[in-house]
Amino acid sequence: MNWFFVLFSVFNMLFAEHRVFELRIVNDKTQKSYTVHSTLDWLQYAEYHHLSRDERVELVDHWMCWRRREGVFKPLCKRPVTADTLKSENAEPEG
């Protein structure tokens, strides 16, 4: 039974996925903003990076990365392109 647990744990580590969050950090005082990509969600990001009282985090988009990242400082996966996202990005504005 112990070998099954070890084998199951190793198998899960080999195929681990993660989620990427596109976040917008907005400074309400200066009205300036910037975008970051992180594996931390909007709540975790604000706590981990200790934003100032004037700053807030907005969730812009998120997606799943199906492959494991080899190493801590490797780039995050890019947003996948689907037929729906292409349709919405190429849509003509109404009016």
CA 90 to CA 68: how far, in whole Å?
A: 31
Q: Which of 1, 53, 48, 5 is nearest to 23 (CA)?
A: 48
CA distances from 73 to 4, 69, 70, 76, 84 (A): 32, 9, 8, 9, 31
Q: What is the mean pLDDT of residues 91-95?
A: 52
Q: Rounded to two decimals, what is the model's pTM? A: 0.65
pLDDT digits over 4-52, tens only? 555 555 555 555 678 899 999 999 999 999 999 999 999 999 999 999 9
The DSSP call for residue 90 is S
Q: Which of 75, 89, 88, 42 is nearest to 61 (CA)?
A: 42
Classify the C-alpha dihedral 57-60-66-67 as positive or negative.
Answer: negative
